């Protein structure tokens, strides 16, 4: 029994440690020093967006963007483009880049105003998606950015929607495979192998749940939440497989095996060839 508890601890602690290490990294965004930035879309300050009050993005619509920048550094600040992007698990599912030509002297403030058309958004994403509005300098690095929560009114058949559908299909296949193995008593007698057999379905369930929450607009699927749900469901599924009783051989298999053994014994006793064997 002590071996079982050791196995459980060996699985739970790495999962908890992984979530604890990656959660702060997922929540923390890189904030460049020395540059102050504020922005509004159609007159709304985007810094105040949240799950309850996301920034609604309609496909094929146009939004007026106003950005205020203050250069608190001792060197001129050259700006080359502004990006509006939405990301999930580090992958960009929608992105709009606008080229600009602006230099801000040290200690000075400047503004950017332009009109952005959201062409093709319906085919890129749908649901609540975290993103950012970032301003890039001449070296191609972000000099300032603002995190925001977007409510994309795209199609389920968008790139992000198909990503979730693919996750659901793969998870359903993994569940069916595990269920079939359980029904046929084909799970391994080794506890670790049984746990690993159920690990993939558990992981998939967590990922699909987080995707569903995003599309249903329950919350923003940031990397921390994806890791938390996927890690938790994967650990639970592994423990269920690890702690499950050792499967017993199917009775039909035992009967067939006994019948084959008796047939071989009778054939040997009578010195007759076994059916299907070489004379």
User: What is the predicted pLDDT for the residue at 193?
Assistant: 83
Q: How far apart are CA 184 and CA 186, in angstroms?
A: 5
Say whether 152 sits in a helix, a strand or coil: strand
pLDDT-flagged residues of the chain (< 50)? 1-32, 252-257, 259, 272, 274-279
142-152 and 55-57 beta bridge pairing: parallel
Q: Please report the pLDDT score of residue 274 as a whole number.
A: 46
Q: Give per-residue pLDDT as tens, 183-234.
A: 887 877 888 888 888 888 998 898 898 899 899 998 887 777 778 878 888 8
Q: Are strands 35-41 and 44-45 parallel, antiparallel or unpaired?
A: antiparallel
Helices (H), the chain: 2-27, 159-183, 191-215, 223-243, 251-270
Q: pTM to 2 decimals?
A: 0.70
- At residue 84, φ and ψ (nearest 5 deg) are -110, 115
DSSP-based helix, strand, coil % in the chain, nearest 5: 45, 30, 30
What pLDDT shows up at residue 182?
82
């Amino acid at each position: 029994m002590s071996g079982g508890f050791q196995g459980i601890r060996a699985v739970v602690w790495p999962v908890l440690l992984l979530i604890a290490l990656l959660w702060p990294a997922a929540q923390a965004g890189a904030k460049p020093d020395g540059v102050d930035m504020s922005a509004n879309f159609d007159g709304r300050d985007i810094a105040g967006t949240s799950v309850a009050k996301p920034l609604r993005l309609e496909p094929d619509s146009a939004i007026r963007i106003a950005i205020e920048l203050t250069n608190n550094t001792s060197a001129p600040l050259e700006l080359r483009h502004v990006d509006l992007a939405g990301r999930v698990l580090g992958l960009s599912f929608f992105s709009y880049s606008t080229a600009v030509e602006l230099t801000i002297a040290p200690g000075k403030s400047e503004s950017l105003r332009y009109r952005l058309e959201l062409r093709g958004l319906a085919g890129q994403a749908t649901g609540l998606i975290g993103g950012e509005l970032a301003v890039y300098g001449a070296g191609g690095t972000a000099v300032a950015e603002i995190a925001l929560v977007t409510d994309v009114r795209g199609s389920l058949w968008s790139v992000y929607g198909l990503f979730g559908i693919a996750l659901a299909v793969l998870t359903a296949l993994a569940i069916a495979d595990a269920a079939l193995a359980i029904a046929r008593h084909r799970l391994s007698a080794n506890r670790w192998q049984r746990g690993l057999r159920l690990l993939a379905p558990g992981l998939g369930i967590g990922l699909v749940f987080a995707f569903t929450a995003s599309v249903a607009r329950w919350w923003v699927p940031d990397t921390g939440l994806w890791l938390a749900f996927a890690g938790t469901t994967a650990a639970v599924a592994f423990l269920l497989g690890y702690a499950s009783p050792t499967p017993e051989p199917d009775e039909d298999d035992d009967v067939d095996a006994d019948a084959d053994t008796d047939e071989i014994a009778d054939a040997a006793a009578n010195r007759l060839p076994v059916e299907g064997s070489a004379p």
